[in-house]
Amino acid sequence: MLSKKEGKGKNKEGELAAQGGAAMEKIERSDLLLVIDVQNDFCPGGALPVPDGGAVVPVINRVIGLFPAAGATQDWHPAGHFSFASSHPGKKPFETIPWHGQEQVLWPDHCLQGSAGADLHPELEARPLRFLLRKGTRRDVDSYSGFLENDHRTSTGLKGLLQELGVRRIFVAGLATDYCVRATVLDGLEAGFRVAVLVDACRGVDVPAGSVKKALEEMRSRGALLLETRDLSAG
């Protein structure tokens, strides 16, 4: 159960958005709200809780009905996934290993296929969702982005799905700002979509320290619009 305090305090995401001084943004018919990984394991009490992660739920619920369409992503890992620290003897969660020229963070086991931890948060308003895209399903490759797996070659099919729905702009919310939100936003821009980040509807891991601020600045510099939900205007 969410406490009444969740979603009201200051956070790194909201502070940077406020600095941007965004004007009101009108929601258009070709817009879609994309909810990233708002799952039990990423919320308080889960296997890999994002600090204040549950606070995004009431924020998303307040605005999801404003959009003509909405969809969500869902981490969906097999047991023994290579990104789990438990799959690497002697390694601990949050340590890193090299992987195909990249640095892979090792995580606690989380979002196991079919587990309660992989379920969407029970208080998330899921009825408006047009689709639920599962990612990270292959044992040997992680998938932060909703568009591409971490090899940056294998498509999840999200681009084609959005094109079929006639989506031109996506508004991104969810978890975590500095990992799956960031990767989805950058890949969405690369795929040719206009992208806005609802920063007060996101929370980050901030590991390493400062990564949330860095991610927000990177998304903005690459062309994403940083907004708060109060900046939205119904079409």
Segments of the chain with pLDDT less than 70: 1-22
Q: Phi/psi at 22 (nearest 5 deg)? A: -70, 145
Angle, helix 12-20 to helix 211-221, in steps of 10 degrees: 30
pLDDT for position 110: 98
Neighbours of 191 (CB within 10 A): 18
225-227 β-sheet, strand order: 129-135, 70-75, 31-36, 169-175, 194-203, 225-227
Task: Please write the tens of the pLDDT for every residue from 62-83.
Answer: 999 999 999 999 999 999 999 9
- CB-CB contact of 28 with 158 (8 Å): no
Task: Please write the tens of the pLDDT for every residue from 96-126.
Answer: 999 878 889 999 999 999 999 999 999 999 9
Q: Round to whole Å and give the CA distance between 134 and 121.
A: 15
Residue with tokens 């948060």: 121
With CA atoms as reference, report the closest residue to 36 among 232, 220, 176. 176
Residue 84 gets which letter from DSSP? Answer: B
With CA atoms as reference, report the closest residue to 59 among 235, 234, 232. 232
pLDDT for position 144: 96
pLDDT for position 72: 98
| Active site residues per annotation | 37, 135, 180
Residue 63 gets which letter from DSSP? Answer: H
Domain 26-77+119-233 has CATH 3.40.50.850: yes
